Amino acid sequence: MSKFDEEDAFEAASLPLSQRAMGAAMGARATPYLDGLNPAQREAVETLDGPVLMLAGAGTGKTKALTARIAHLLTTGRARPNEVLAVTFTNKAAREMKNRVGALLGEAVEGVPWLGTFHSICVKQLRRHAELVGLKSNFTILDTDDQIRLLKQLIVAEGIDDKRWPARMLAGLIDSWKNRAWTPDALPASEAGAYDNKGGKLYAQYQDRLRTLNACDFGDLLLHMVTIFQKHPDVLEQYQRWFRYILVDEYQDTNVAQYMWLRLLAAAHRNICCVGDDDQSIYGWRGAEVGNILRFEKDFEGAKIVKLEQNYRSTEHILGAASGVIAGNKGRLGKTLFTEAKGGEKVRLIGHWDGEEEARWIGDEIESLQSGTRGLTPIGLNDMAILVRASHQMRSFEDRFLTIGLPYRVIGGPRFYERLEIRDAMAYFRLAVSLDDDLAFERIVNTPKRGLADKSVQIIRAAANGNGVSLIEGAKIAIEANALKGKAKSELPKLIASLERWHGLTRGPLRQVFVSEAEAANDVVERFEYGEPDVNHIQLAEMILDESGYTASYFKPEDPNDPDAAPIPITPEAPGRLDNLKELVKALEQFENLQGFLEHIALVMDNDSEDATEKVSIMTLHAAKGLEFPAVFLPGWEDGLFPSQRSMDESGLKGLEEERRLAYVGITRAEELCTISFAGNRRVYGQWQSALPSRFVDELPERHVEILTPPGLYGHQASTVGDMMDALGGSDLHEAAAKANVYNSPGWRRLQERQSSRGMSQPRESKNMVIDAQAVSSFTVGERVFHQKFGYGEIMAVEGDKLDVSFDKAGDKKVVGKFLVSADSAGDVPF
DNA sequence: GCGTCCAATACTGAG
DNA sequence: TATTGGACGC
C-alpha cells in the first residue's frame, strides 16, 4: 500500500459520525450474502458489536461466515473498508478471503486494505513507527537463514563451541521467546540460563545487532509492535480508533505475542470476532496457545459464543472417522459436528510392505480414480491430494509420479525466496536499495567468486568496525589504506563502483518540490524529492544480474574462442536457477520499485503457482489446514512418524494430542473419499526401519472403515516364493519378496486380527502365503543370502535379528533379518 | 583463495 | 541417502 492510502485510512477513522451515517444510508444495499447461511452462521454474521467467538468445526462454513461478516459490515455502512482489520495466519488464507470478499461485494466496494497475515499487517504498522524501537522505516526483514548466520557470528565471538551449541538451537529459543512476547530485559531468569547459560546475553546482543543493521526477524515484527503499543499509548489509541472492527481467523493458532497485539487493539471498542476450532490447533510447537481460545470469554466479558456445527464438506463416514479419532483428546471445548449427507464411501485403510509400495499403490489408485474405473465418477487430479506428516515423505511420491508421468504439485516445499539464486539476487537488490545492508554485502561480496574471500572480508570488517561504519564504507577505507592484496585489490573497487552506480539508478535526480500549506505550518521550509529514475526497476534488476557477472557464473562458454557459441551450464541445475531468476525479474513487473518488491518477497511470496494443468497436490498436513479435496490420501500412518516421535518426546501427552488433532485435520480435508495407509518398512536416512501402524489407526471407528487388501495376491495359492512369483506372473524377486513379507509385518497381522475379530472375510489363502517367520529370520553363519538393495552376500555373524553380512558388491553391512532372503530360496532368478 | 574430499548431520511444522 | 560445512592440499 502506498503512503497515500495510509493517510487516507487515517482520515477515514476520524470522519465525523454524521458523515459515516450518511455513508451508511447511501450504502443501504441488498444483502444477498446472507442468503444460504444457516441460523448459527447468520448469528455470527449479524452480531456486529461486541466480542464474538465463533467456534467453527471443520467444514462448517467458517470462511463463508467470516467473509459474509465483512460484507455485512461494509454494506450496512458500519465500517469503511479501511476500518476493518482482518487477520489470517497464512498468505493463502488471506488471498482466499480477499477474493471471496471481493466476489461478495462485486466492484461496488474496494476490498479491505487491512486484510492480511499477522506479519504483513505488522510490517505495515512497523514501517510507520520504526523509530520508536530504534529502527528506520526501511528496515530489512531477515529470514531464518540470515538469522542463523548472524547468530553464528555472535556465538563465535563469545567463544562458544558452535558444534556443541548450534546456532539453530539458539535461533529456536529466541523465536520461542519472541512468540511469548519476551524482550531481552523481560526474559525470565529461568529461560535466560538456557543455551549454556548464555541465552539471555546472546539474545540481548542479537537484538542490538539487528538494530545496528536496521533489520528485524519475523518474530520482531509482532514483538516490536506490542512493545510500541505498550510504551506509546497515543499510537495505540490511533489504531484503536482506526480499526473499529477486528476479525481473526484460526484464532486457536495465536501465540502470546499475537494475542497481546490483538487484545491491545481491541481493548477500547471490543468489536472483535475470533474464529477458531480448538480441535484444529496444530501449531503448539511454534508457540500457539490453545489457551487463548479457551480463555476468550474471560478476556472479553459478555462475549457471544457461536458454535458452527453443521458440516457441509464431508460424507457421514469421513466425519464419523474424524470424530472417532478426535474423541481421544481430553479438554476439548466440545462441539458435535453433524452432517445431513448420508452414505458415501467408508474411510479406506490399507497396509503396505514399504514406503515405495505405498507410493506405487497410491499412484495407481489416483490413476484409476482419475479415469473413473470401478464405476465411480472420474475425479480430476486437482481434486485429489496427498497429505503427509513430514515433508521428507513427499519424496517417494514425487519419484513414483515422475516415473509414471502423473502430474503433481508440491505445496509449501522450499519457498521460492529461500533458493540460493533468489537469495543471492535479492542480496544484490537489497544493496542497490540500501548500500549499508551489511548482511547483503557479506553475502555477495564474493559471489560470484572475485577473489574476495574470508581474509579480505576480515580486513573489510575490521575497517568497518574500527570506524563504526557499514561494510561498504569500511571497504572504501580498506582500499584507501591499501590493505588488500592480489585479486581483491583490483576487484573490490570495481564492485563498490558498480553497487554505487546501481544505487544511483534506483531513483532519479534530487529536485526541490512544492511545500504545501500544511507543511509550511509545521515549519517545513523546503522539501526535496527524487524524480523518476532513468531506468525502471526491471531493467535495473536485469542490469545488476548481468553486470555483476552473477548469471554468467552459472555457465561457461562452450568454446572460449568463439564468442557466439552457446554457453553451457556448469552444473545440471544451472538452467533451473536461471529460470528462477527470470521468474524473479518477471515478478518485479507487479511492483513500482525494488523496495516494494523486496518486502513482498520476504513476507508473501510463496510458490503456489496458479497452474492451469490438472495436478495432484502433495503437501504436509499443516499446509492442508483450511483446504478441502474430494479425494484425500493420508499415507504414513505409522507410530513414530505419525504421531511423530519427536513431538511425543518433547511434549508428551500434549504432543500426542496435537498429533491427534493433526490426524483430525487430515481426515476432515476429505469430501468424498479418504484413504489412510501405512507401510511396515520405510527408509530413514537411507537406512531401512520398520514400524508399527499408527495408534490412530486403532482409533478409527470400525463401522466407518473399510479395509483394503494389498494388490497382487487375490485368489492365488502359493506356498513358496517361487510359486508366488509365478502367481504374480512376474519374475521380479524383489517384488515377490516384498509382497510375501507384507504378511509378516506387524501391521498386517494387526489388520488381520481386526478383520477376523469382526468376522470379515480375509484375503483368500493369505495364511498359505505367509512365509514362515522362521524361514525368513533365522539364518546361519556362512549362509548365502540375497538382499533387495545390496544383492548377494554371505552371513558373517548373527546377533538376535541383526546380521552382519558381507555382500559381494556392497561390502560389509549390518542388516535386519527380515530384509534378507536365503539365496537358495531365491532360486536361479535372473536379475 | 579456491576446490575437493570426507564426515557429520538431518527429516516435523509457517511467516 | 542428500546436503553441508570444515579440513586439507594445491
The residue that minimises its CA distance to C1' of B8 is: A163
How buried is A570 (Cβ within 10 angstroms: 0-12 exposed, 13-18 middle, 19+ buried)?
A: exposed
CATH 3.40.50.300 fits A28-139+215-310, yes or no: yes
Protein A401 CA to nucleic acid B10 C1', in Å?
Answer: 25
Residue A685 beta carbon within 7 A of nucleic strand C: yes
Q: Between residues A650 and A773, which one has the greater pLDDT?
A: A650
- The identity of residue A292, as a single letter, is N
Protein A543 CA to nucleic acid C5 C1', in Å?
Answer: 33
Q: How confident is the model at residue A341 (pLDDT cuts 50, 70, 90)?
A: confident
Whether residue A628 has pLDDT greater than 60: yes
Q: Between residues A773 and A15, which one has the greater pLDDT?
A: A15
Protein A162 CA to nucleic acid B8 C1', in Å?
Answer: 14
494430542: which residue's cell?
A: A657
Q: What's the CATH number for A783-825? A: 2.30.30
Protein A164 CA to nucleic acid C6 C1', in Å?
Answer: 15
Rounded alpha-carbon distances, angstroms, from residue A198 to A145, A157, A173, A232, A687: 21, 12, 12, 31, 37
Protein A603 CA to nucleic acid B14 C1', in Å?
Answer: 11
Q: What is the DSSP string of A294-320?
A: HTHHHHSTT-EEEEE-B--SS-HHHHH
Whether residue A576 has pLDDT greater than 90: no
CB proximity list for A64: less than 8 A, separation 6 or greater = A37, A41, A100
- Residue length, chain A? 831
Is there a catalytic annotation at residue A669? Answer: yes
Question: Among all strands, which nt has the closest C1' to A172 (CA)?
Answer: B13
Specify whether the backbone of A756 is left (phi greater than 0), alpha (psi in -120 to 50) or beta.
Answer: alpha
Of A207, A258, A280, A675, which one is the catalytic site residue? A280
Protein A168 CA to nucleic acid B9 C1', in Å?
Answer: 13
Q: What is the pLDDT of residue A385?
A: 96
- The identity of residue A696, as a single letter, is F
Note the pLDDT tens digit of each residue in A517-546.
Answer: 777 877 777 778 777 777 889 999 999 999
Rounded CA separation A424/A443 (Å): 7
Strands of A784-787's sheet in order across: A811-816, A802-807, A791-799, A784-787, A820-822
**A199 φ, ψ (degrees, to nearest 5):** -55, -50
Q: What is the pLDDT of residue A523?
A: 78
Dig out the grid coordinates for A521 from the structure. Answer: 505550518
Helices (H), A116-274: 118-129, 144-157, 167-179, 189-192, 199-212, 218-231, 233-242, 256-266
- pLDDT mean over A44-61: 93
pTM reported for the whole predicted model? 0.79
Whether residue A98 has pLDDT greater than 70: yes
Q: Considering chain A, what percentage of its residues have pLDDT values greater than 90? A: 44
* For residue A32, cis peptide bond before it (omega within 30 degrees of 0): no
CB proximity list for A220: less than 8 A, separation 6 or greater = A178, A210
Whether residue A143 has pLDDT greater than 90: no
Is there a catalytic annotation at residue A506? Answer: no
The residue that minimises its CA distance to C1' of B11 is: A392
Rounded CA separation A573/A361 (Å): 30
The distance of Cα A368 from the centroid of its chain, to the nearest Å, equals: 30
Q: Between residues A559 and A592, which one has the greater pLDDT?
A: A592
Residue A814 beta carbon within 7 A of nucleic strand C: no
Query: Side-chain half-sphere of A695: how many Cα atoms within 13 Å?
Result: 12
Is there a catalytic annotation at residue A280? Answer: yes
Whether residue A604 has pLDDT greater than 80: no
Residue A686 beta carbon within 7 A of nucleic strand C: yes
**A572 φ, ψ (degrees, to nearest 5):** -60, -30
Of A577, A669, A682, A818, which one is the catalytic site residue? A669
**A434 φ, ψ (degrees, to nearest 5):** -140, 105
Specify which residues A25 forms β-bridges with: none
Note the pLDDT tens digit of each residue in A389-413.
Answer: 999 999 999 989 988 989 998 887 7
Residue A556 beta carbon within 7 A of nucleic strand B: no
* Residues making up the binding site of A: 56-63
Q: How confident is the model at residue A823 (pLDDT cuts 50, 70, 90)?
A: low
Whether residue A786 has pLDDT greater than 70: no
Protein A160 CA to nucleic acid B9 C1', in Å?
Answer: 20
* Residues making up the binding site of A for ATP: 56-63
Rounded alpha-carbon distances, angstroms, from residue A286 to A121, A465, A486: 19, 36, 48
Q: What is the pLDDT of residue A91?
A: 86
Protein A429 CA to nucleic acid C1 C1', in Å?
Answer: 36
Rounded CA separation A26/A373 (Å): 56
Protein A107 CA to nucleic acid C1 C1', in Å?
Answer: 54
Residue A572 beta carbon within 7 A of nucleic strand C: no
Is there a catalytic annotation at residue A250? Answer: yes
Note the pLDDT tens digit of each residue in A557-573.
Answer: 666 566 566 677 777 77
CB A447 within 8 A of CB A423: no
Other beta carbons within 10 angstroms of residue A296's beta carbon come to 20
Q: Between residues A761 and A109, which one has the greater pLDDT?
A: A109
Question: Among all strands, which nt has the closest C1' to A449 (CA)?
Answer: B2
- pLDDT mean over A77-94: 91
Q: How confident is the model at residue A709 (pLDDT cuts 50, 70, 90)?
A: confident
Question: Among all strands, which nt has the closest C1' to A645 (CA)?
Answer: B12
How buried is A299 (Cβ within 10 angstroms: 0-12 exposed, 13-18 middle, 19+ buried)?
A: middle
Dig out the grid coordinates for A33 from the structure. Answer: 450474502
Q: What's the CATH number for A347-407+614-728? A: 3.40.50.300
Residue A288 beta carbon within 7 A of nucleic strand B: no
Query: DSSP state, A446?
Result: T
Question: Among all strands, which nt has the closest C1' to A453 (CA)?
Answer: B1
Is there a catalytic annotation at residue A8? Answer: no
- The identity of residue A705, as a single letter, is V
Domain boundaries, chain A: 28-139+215-310, 142-213, 347-407+614-728, 420-517+524-590, 783-825
Note the pLDDT tens digit of each residue in A179-237.
Answer: 999 999 999 998 888 888 888 999 999 999 999 999 999 999 999 999 999 999 999 99
C chain positions with any atom within 7 Å of a protein CB:
1-2
Q: How confident is the model at residue A161 (pLDDT cuts 50, 70, 90)?
A: confident
Q: What is the pLDDT of residue A18?
A: 41
B chain positions with any atom within 7 Å of a protein CB:
1-3, 9-15
CATH 1.10.10.160 fits A142-213, yes or no: yes
The distance of Cα A704 from the centroid of its chain, to the nearest Å, equals: 31
**CB < 7 Å to strand B — which of 656-695 in chain A?**
658, 684-686
| Helix (H/G/I), strand (E/B), else coil: A560 | coil
The mean predicted confidence, pLDDT, of chain A is: 81
CB A119 within 8 A of CB A147: no
542497490: which residue's cell?
A: A432
The residue that minimises its CA distance to C1' of C1 is: A686
Of A249, A437, A491, A659, which one is the catalytic site residue? A249
Q: Please tell me if the domain spanning A28-139+215-310 has the same topology as the one spanning A420-517+524-590.
A: no
Dig out the grid coordinates for A139 from the structure. Answer: 528496515
Q: What is the pLDDT of residue A110?
A: 72
Note the pLDDT tens digit of each residue in A767-780.
Answer: 222 223 333 346 77
Dig out the grid coordinates for A505 from the structure. Answer: 539508478
Q: Between residues A716 and A77, which one has the greater pLDDT?
A: A77
Protein A814 CA to nucleic acid B3 C1', in Å?
Answer: 35
Specify whether the backbone of A50 is left (phi greater than 0), alpha (psi in -120 to 50) or beta.
Answer: left
- In which element (H, E) is residue A355 found? helix A355-371
Question: Among all strands, which nt has the closest C1' to A149 (CA)?
Answer: C5
The distance of Cα A685 from the centroid of its chain, to the nearest Å, equals: 22
Rounded CA separation A537/A532 (Å): 11
Is there a catalytic annotation at residue A383? Answer: no
Question: Among all strands, which nt has the closest C1' to A602 (CA)?
Answer: B15
Encode A236-273: b = buried (16+ Cβ within 10 Å), e = exposed: bebbbebbbbbbbbbbbbbbbbbbbbbbbbbeebbbbb
Q: What is the pLDDT of residue A495?
A: 94
Q: What is the DSSP string of A244-286?
A: -EEEESSGGG-BHHHHHHHHHHHTTT--EEEEE-GGG---GGG
**CB < 7 Å to strand B — which of 333-352 in chain A?**
none
**CB < 7 Å to strand B — which of 388-407 in chain A?**
389-392
Encode A413-428: b = buried (16+ Cβ within 10 Å), e = exposed: beebbebebbbbbbbb
Note the pLDDT tens digit of each residue in A445-504.
Answer: 998 888 888 888 888 989 998 999 999 999 999 999 998 888 888 999 999 999 999 999
Dig out the grid coordinates for A562 from the structure. Answer: 568463439
Residue A144 beta carbon within 7 A of nucleic strand B: yes
Q: How confident is the model at residue A242 (pLDDT cuts 50, 70, 90)?
A: very high
**A7 φ, ψ (degrees, to nearest 5):** -60, -45
CB A766 within 8 A of CB A751: no
Of A20, A42, A47, A63, which one is the catalytic site residue? A63
Range A420-517+524-590: architecture per CATH: Orthogonal Bundle (1.10)
Q: What is the pLDDT of residue A813?
A: 60
Rounded CA separation A596/A1 (Å): 9
CB proximity list for A821: less than 8 A, separation 6 or greater = A721, A733, A737, A776, A785, A786, A787
Rounded CA separation A811/A645 (Å): 32
Q: Between residues A426 and A13, which one has the greater pLDDT?
A: A426
